[in-house]
Structure 1
Amino acid sequence: MKVLEYEILLNLRTTFKTNNAAMILGVYWYFKFPENLYRFQFFKFFKGFGGHANNLAELEARVSVDHPENLIRKLEELHPRFKRMYLSIKINENKLLISTGDYTLFDEHFQFVSEIEKLLILANAHMIDTPFEVQSSRNLSPENVTYETIEHRFMQITGSDFRKNNAENISVRIDCNLPTIHKENLINDLICICTEENIHVFYYYDCDFKEHSNLMFFFSNGRQMENAVQHVDINAFGSKVRQLEQKYPLHFGIFGGMEYYPRNGPNIEMITDEDYILNTH
């Protein structure tokens, strides 16, 4: 379990970039390429470095093509299918540098690039290795985004270790404690909230002691495909979790010190794409 390298963008005391006041949880790639899932003829993967570098992970193709204006038109026609993506096209006569990227490359990004590869093949494009002077550029922007403040400081945005095919996972983590007698009912209520808020992954670690329970909850989603990207309104989700304080003697945070840190688990309540989220085998 780790906090995302780009947590500065998601810090609970600042703002995060969202789409329609929601964010995307789930499986992504940043540091490594999704081996065995995608194979590209033209595009190369440039990993993110995180930390102070804070750079995007990028997919980039440097090609020459006989009729670049035709290819650019095809790219412009393709882009509305993948309106969350940006696409940069740098041009020098028949030479093009085509790139896209993000801090979280979801399956949707790689599917976008797969479609661009098809267009490059149809255009009889050829890879080139030498740099060229950019004479003009065309930028296809993603749909408008808004900035939303995470209102609930008991929530953390966390990453993961590497999973299947080098995948990582964005999750919401919530630590809390309450009398053990209420644990099962609390978990059942959280399952209902997950269903209401478009969350399909829910697992936790626990430690029961002296009729009390420390709990570390994780909420996420699976792989994010074209036309099936799942947006989660983090503040709506957090508000519903906060309301559970009125129903149970619930306190956020871990009680009793490291001796009672919740290490028992993962206990899985809801899961999809398990191999990309948990190393349980």
Structure 2
Amino acid sequence: MILGVYWYFKFPENLYHFKFFKFFEGIGGHADNAAELITRIKVNNPKDFILKLETLKTEYKQAFLHLSSDDNQLVITLGGYHLFDYCFQFALEIEELLILEHAISIDFSTPFTAKASKTYHAETTFTNIKYNFIQIVGSDFKKDNAEVLSVRIDCNLPLSSKRDMLHALTSICKEENISVFYYNMYEFKDQCNLMLFFTNGRQYKDRIQHVDVNSLGSKVRNLSQKFQLQFGHFGGMPYYPRNGPHVELMQDENYILN
């Protein structure tokens, strides 16, 4: 699984600028549609361009691409529920090809009938999470309209074990390719409730971090015996862990916490 900074509901206004592609935001809810980057263009030699596009796609194995064609007109679609930086980088490189091909942008209102289409799926593996204490969560909007995909684990344990347990979790993060670890807490008497967050920063073409969520879950579960850790929070809303965030590991902080 890829965790970290992504875009879905809004466009990263200050980060990327496109000549050909338009951003169509995700809606979520019952509509449940992917966010998309779409361009409709005309090229003189579509077969040659498609070969170049397919070659470029091999450098972006984690990105989704759909191509529709009507003679020398093409509709190129990139999309997903989590558009990481590498998706936008892919679009920029496609635009470089289009400029070299002297492509002409075609208005979307012009009639278009696809005579051929092809989908190039992202090379990702669906993860069936084995541990019910693991939650996959999004976030509020951060810098440049970013959102953050994280693993969240709620737990409680004796206050005397908290610091050693956090040190152990930090070591696990380094083993599991996790660069961001922070938590919220509430302390009461000799116990504490913790809300743990594990994620990564921005995911670029040459720096994509894959996380085995079940491996993380297995190691966290093993800590439960050593530190008398129990999953879930003790007590009701008065004990909810609002104190934080407290950072153990951080990357791209402006896009994670701000």
Using the size of structure 2 for normalisation, the TM-score is 0.97
2:71 alignment partner in structure 1: 93
Counterparts of 2:129 and 2:91, CA distance in 1: 32
CA distance, structure 2, for counterparts of residue 66 and residue 204 of structure 1: 55
Q: Following the alignment from structure 2 to structure 1, what is the Cα–Cα distance between the partners of residues 59 and 38?
A: 19
What CA deviation, in whole Å up to 9, does each residue of 1:69-94 have, x standing for no partner? 22111101111000122221111111
Q: Secondary structure at the match of 2:208?
A: coil
- 3-state SS, counterpart of residue 54 of structure 1: coil
Counterpart position of 1:9: none
Amino acid at match of 2:246: N
Quote the offset at 1:163 in angstroms.
0.5
What does residue 128 of structure 1 align with? 106
Q: Specify the code of the residue in structure 1 equivalent to 2:62.
A: R
Deviation string for 1:25-54 (max 9, x for gaps)?
100000001111110000000011011111
Deviation at 1:134? 1.0
Cα deviations across residues 190-234 of structure 1 (Å, max 9, x unaligned)? 001101100010011111111111111101000000021100000
* Post-superposition CA distance 1:84-127 (Å, at most 9, x none): 22221111111111111011000010000000000011111111
Tell me by how many angstroms 1:258 deviates.
Answer: 0.8
User: What is aligned with 2:240?
Assistant: 261
Q: Secondary structure, in 3 states, of the residue corresponding to 2:14?
A: coil
Q: In percent, how many aligned pairs have the same letter?
A: 57
Secondary structure of the equivalent of 2:126?
A: strand
How many Å separate the matches in 2 of 1:272 and 1:165? Answer: 16
1:147 alignment counterpart: 126
2:193 aligned with 1:202, yes or no? no
| Counterpart code for 1:170 | L
3-state SS, counterpart of residue 117 of structure 1: helix
Q: Does 1:47 align with 2:25?
A: yes
Shift of 1:253: 0.7
Distance 1:256 1:76 in 2: 55
- What does residue 226 of structure 2 align with? 247
Give distance in 2, aligned partners of 1:169 and 1:242: 24
Distance 2:129 2:212 in 1: 10
Who is 1:168 aligned against?
147
SS in 2 for 1:178: strand
TM-score, length-normalised on structure 1?
0.89
Matched letter for residue 107 of structure 1: D
What is the CA deviation profile of residues 143-166 of structure 1, one whole-angstrom value per residue up to 9, with x for unaligned ones? 3x4433211101111100000110
Which residue type is aligned with residue 229 of structure 1?
I
Task: Report the residue type matching 1:137 in the other structure.
Answer: S
Cα RMSD (Å): 1.0
- Asked if 1:227 corresponds to 2:206, the answer is yes
Consecutive aligned runs of 4 or more in structure 1 exceeding 4 Å deviation:
none
Shift of 1:261: 0.8
Q: For 2:99 and 2:56, how far apart are their aligned partners in 1? A: 15
The question of 1:106 aligning with 2:79 is answered no
Aligned equivalents of 1:228, 1:89: Cα separation in 2? 26
What SS is found at the alignment partner of 1:147?
coil
Find the counterpart in structure 1 of residue 255 from structure 2: 276
Structure 1, unpaired ranges of 5+: 1-22
Distance of 1:230 and 1:50 partners within structure 2:
25
- Of the structure 1 ranges 69-78 and 212-221, higher mean CA displacement relative to structure 2 is found in 69-78
1:119 aligns with 2:97: yes
Deviates more, 1:186-195 or 1:63-72: 63-72
